[in-house]
Amino acid sequence: MESKSSMSLIQKIISIFWSPTETFKSLKENVNWMDIVIPLLLVVIVGWITVPYVAPISTKVAQQRIENNENLSEQQKEQSLESIEKSTGGPLKYIMVIIGTGLNAAILALVMWLAGNMFLKGEVEYTRIFAMTAYISLIGIIASAVRTPLMVSQGTTEVYTGAAILFEKSKTFFFRLMKQIDVFSIWKVILFGLGLGTLYKSEKNKALYLTFGLWAIWTIVMSVLGGLNPMA
């Protein structure tokens, strides 16, 4: 039987969806720069593909929110609308996909690395956690494949693939919290738990408790901050 360390890049990419522990075992044995760059590049490419479909919708939604905001003066509305047009025009939106994908993965990997070294036994190199994060980010491709058609068909970026679909849309803290409880987010949280458990040689339950705990804190914070945004 093929050793985990000899898994090819393609095998690790496929395995993250069907047998993620095998990918994590392979990363524990061996990791290189391609384990970080290639998965993130795939996410970026899919992001570029969705930009022409999602960008006009998100721009329209943002413009409507500005126009309907009674707390802004006409001059402030004009300035905000001009700012949106500049930020969504030309190649900038494609560049932002690259920056956003790489930065989000790097920061998330840093959080997982620090949490793992602090709460799980042993120490793991940051590059392995970064590679793990890069592979887990591939779940975003499936999420995009599901959400983008929904956004286009409904003409809004406010589409839900989780608990929020069971409740009437509102601006309450409860609904903002429900929006965070998403099937793809939970999928990623489980993968992070399995990944950390494998890389740190820790009990899977302990690693899962850690990742779900971090996720719970994140969802609460984002739900609170969402209520402070006058444009939401």
Question: What pLDDT score was predicted for residue 120?
Answer: 92
**Domain ranges within the chain, ordered by starting residue:** 8-228
Given this model, what pLDDT does residue 65 score? 74
Q: pLDDT band at 2, cuts 50/70/90?
A: very low
Extract the tokens encoding 169: 């849309």
The per-residue pLDDT of the chain, averaged, comes to 88
Query: Bigger pLDDT: 42 or 1?
Result: 42
The rounded percent of the chain whose pLDDT value lies above 90 is: 61
- Global pTM? 0.88
Residues 6+ apart with CB under 8 A from 9: 34, 35, 38
pLDDT tens digits, one per residue of 68-81 = 776 777 777 677 77
The span from the CA of 228 to the CA of 211, in Å, is 26
Give φ, ψ of 182 to 5 degrees.
-120, 145
CB-CB contact of 202 with 196 (8 Å): yes
Q: How many CB atoms lie within 10 A of CB 22?
A: 17
Distances in Å between the alpha carbon of 69 and those of 58, 72, 76, 230? 16, 6, 10, 8
Q: Distance (Å, rounded) from C-alpha 43 to C-alpha 144?
A: 10
Cβ–Cβ under 8 Å, residues 141 and 43: yes
pLDDT in tens, 4-62: 456 899 999 999 999 999 999 999 999 999 999 999 999 999 999 999 999 888 878 77
